Chain A
Amino acid sequence: MSHHIVEARNLIYTYPDGTEALKGVTFRIAHGEAVALVGSNGAGKSTLLLHLNGYLTPAQGDVVIGDTVVTRETAASARRAVGLVFQDPDDQLFMPTVAEDVAFGPLNAGLPPEQVEQRVVRALERVGMLHVRERPPYHLSAGEKRAVAIATVLAMSPDILVMDEPSANLDPRARRRLIELLHSFEHTRIIATHDLEMVVEVCSRVIVLDGGKVVADGPVRELLNDEALMSAHGLERPHILRHSHPH
């Protein structure tokens, strides 16, 4: 059995205020895949991400992680398997020090102190942030905050990494570091983003959402090169592809 597979089966979700955010979303992501979730604002990306760890429960349809359907009862194990990195690192970092923030997840999982410490060190090392472990998170730069936010999730050793706009608000160098970091992961990765240039570098597959539906699902270079498809859904063909594919 593998926890690394994520499947959405005809997900439908309506917010209490009547907004229909998801109108039947279906996909299957296999072990180790790096998949981009793209679409204009309000396409349903963030809503979809919140379904993957059981924070939201679909009105209809199922999310399957590994071979378990995510329900209220199985949400706890889904949250262990799926690490969610949120858009704004300030929402994720709220403890007095970086180390305590990274320890938050492992402590919740009930691990003994020595093991927690080990996980904290390993996760911070992995993102190159061990030197800020005793600093308060709100004094870090945007790039450092992002890296630490990723470490807080890595410390829970998830099988699947889900990220919402990981490159938002980063300066070019911090963005470059993030791309290298994302490249180095062996987890199944699902990345919701508007940064299509990053998608070309990190992902192999892209799912295009529009109006709460999957409108395209396929290889990155094929879909993102499709000028008509891109502009029909409020997106743009990335520059990287224009230059590497002369007409």
Chain B
Amino acid sequence: MGIANWIDIGRMDELSRRVTPLHRLDGRAKTFVTLAFIVIVVSFPLHTVSALTPFLLFPLSLLALGQIPLQPILKKILIAAPFALLVGIFNPFLDREPATMIGSFTVTGGWLSFLSILLRFVLTVGAALTLIACTGMNRLSASLEQLGAPRVFVVQLLFLYRYLFVISDEGSKMFRSVELRSEKGRPLSFRVYGSLLGTLLIRAMDRAERVYRAMVARGFDGEIHVLRPTSFGWKDAAFICGWLTFFSVARTWNLAEGMEIVLTRILSSTPQ
């Protein structure tokens, strides 16, 4: 219930097992392109909004190629949204310099940068989630390691992902038992919340210990092995080259503005 449903890791794992041309691509190619995408999106100047919009093409076309439904990805973006809102929410109050006009409205720099932060957030988190959905966390971790990420980091990442499910499981069980024994509509006191969270932490740690114990019993030595490692082929190279070209074009020229200019020209040249 609740948290577990929202995080819904099982669904991501399910999606990552589909068989599509995108899923068959080498994990390294997808990981590398997604990392490049994130770096480029983040590299735009503070007030950029319109030039960022063409970048939506990347996550959207991956979703289409991988036949991944939009809804589970959107849901997860929403979970993380409060963090982005918190980061950007003060900008409109701090930066009141007028930056541009929309019709008769003056738009301040603060609002523009706030919008820009939100857009970047949707782009980067969306792309990362899509990457997980079309690659699978295990293969993704293996690719990160092949790309040179330190093993300690990769193993941590993998366990963070696995234990998320463990913690949400423990949490939902506990909150259910609280719900069953509390009066409807009466808010819980901070003291109760405190001890609930403390118990959750201890339970999750106990569970983590037991999972680790079971892994050690089966010879786990800190190294992650993947069944069916993929090999790097020309399709992967083409995937990387194609997207990098698009990213650099969209980084250099504002494609959204370009589109607008082209469209207005077409419209104005057509005889009335």
Residue with the greatest number of chain A CB neighbours at <10 A, chosen from B13, B16, B137, B214: B214
Q: Report if A96-B219 is in contact (Cβ < 8 Å); known contacts: A107-B227, A113-B227, A116-B227.
A: no
CA distance A116 to B216 in the complex (A): 18
A76-B219 in contact (CB<8A): yes
B260 in the interface, Cβ–Cβ < 8 Å?
no
User: How far, in whole Å, are A83 and B218 apart by their CA atoms in the complex?
Assistant: 8
Q: Counting CB contacts under 8 A, is A171 at the interface?
A: no
Q: Which residue of B lies closest to A89 (CB)?
A: B214
A99 & B227 in contact (Cβ 8 Å cutoff): yes
Taking a contact as CB atoms under 8 Å apart, the answer to whether B223 and A86 are in contact is: no
Q: 1/0 per residue A161-202: CB within 8 Å of B?
A: 000000000000000000000000000000000000000000
Residues in A whose Cβ lies below 8 Å from that of B97: none
Check: B181 CB closer than 8 A to any chain A CB.
no
CB distance from B147 to the nearest CB of A (A): 21
**A108 & B138 in contact (Cβ 8 Å cutoff):** no
Residue of B whose beta carbon sits closest to that of A97: B17
* In the complex, A222 has a CB within 8 A of chain B: no
Provide the bound-state CA to CA distance between A107 and B211, in Å. Answer: 18
From residue 115 to 153 of chain A, which have CB atoms closer than 8 A to chain B? Answer: 116-117, 134, 136, 138-139, 152-153
Contacts of B216 in A (CB 8 A): 55, 79
- Chain B interfacial residues counted at CB < 8 A: 26
- Max count, chain A CB within 10 A of own CB: residue among B138, B217, B228: B217
A108, B213: Cβ atoms under 8 Å? no
A50 beta carbon closer than 8 Å to chain B: yes
Q: Is the CB of A138 within 8 A of B10?
A: yes
B136 — which chain A residues lie within 8 A by C-beta?
A: 96
Instruction: Give the nearest-CB partner of B162 in chain A.
Output: A94
The answer to whether A91 and B219 touch (CB under 8 A), given A103-B227, A136-B10, is: no
| Among candidates B14, B218, B227, residue contacting A136 with C-beta atoms closer than 8 Å | B14
Give every chain B residue within 8 A of A84 (Cβ-Cβ): 214, 217
Would you list which residues of chain A between 81 and 103 have a CB under 8 Å from chain B?
A: 83-84, 86, 88, 91-92, 94-97, 99-100, 103
Contact of A105 among B138, B210, B219 (CB under 8 A): B219
Q: Roughly how many angstroms separate A15 CA and B181 CA in the complex, as a whole number?
A: 34
Interface size grouping (class) on chain A: 20 to 34
B226 contacts across to A, CB distance below 8 A: 107
> Which secondary structure characterizes the binding site on chain B?
helix
> Is residue A80 within 8 Å, beta carbon to beta carbon, of the partner chain?
yes
Which A residues are CB-close (under 8 A) to B183?
Answer: none
Residue among B10, B223, B225 with max Cβ neighbours from chain A (10 Å): B225
Asked whether B44 is an interface residue with its Cβ less than 8 Å from the other chain, the reply is: no
Determine whether the beta carbon of B13 is less than 8 Å from that of A50: no
Q: How far is the CB of A168 from chain B (nearest CB, A)?
A: 14
Q: How distant is A63 from chain B, measured CB to nearest CB, in Å?
A: 14
Q: Is B220 an interface residue (CB 8 A)?
A: yes
Tell me which residues across on chain A come within 8 A of B219, comparing CB atoms.
Answer: 76, 79-80, 105, 108-109, 156
Cα distance, A76 to B221, chains bound together (Å): 9
* 3 closest A-B pairs by CB: A107-B225, A105-B218, A108-B219
23 A-B residue pairs with Cβ-Cβ distance under 8 Å, sorted by A, are A50-B213, A55-B217, A76-B221, A79-B219, A83-B217, A91-B210, A94-B211, A95-B138, A96-B137, A100-B227, A104-B218, A104-B225, A107-B226, A107-B227, A108-B220, A108-B221, A108-B225, A117-B227, A136-B10, A136-B14, A139-B10, A152-B218, A153-B217
| Chain A interface (Cβ < 8 Å from any Cβ of B) | 50, 53, 55, 76, 79-80, 83-84, 86, 88, 91-92, 94-97, 99-100, 103-105, 107-109, 113, 116-117, 134, 136, 138-139, 152-153, 156
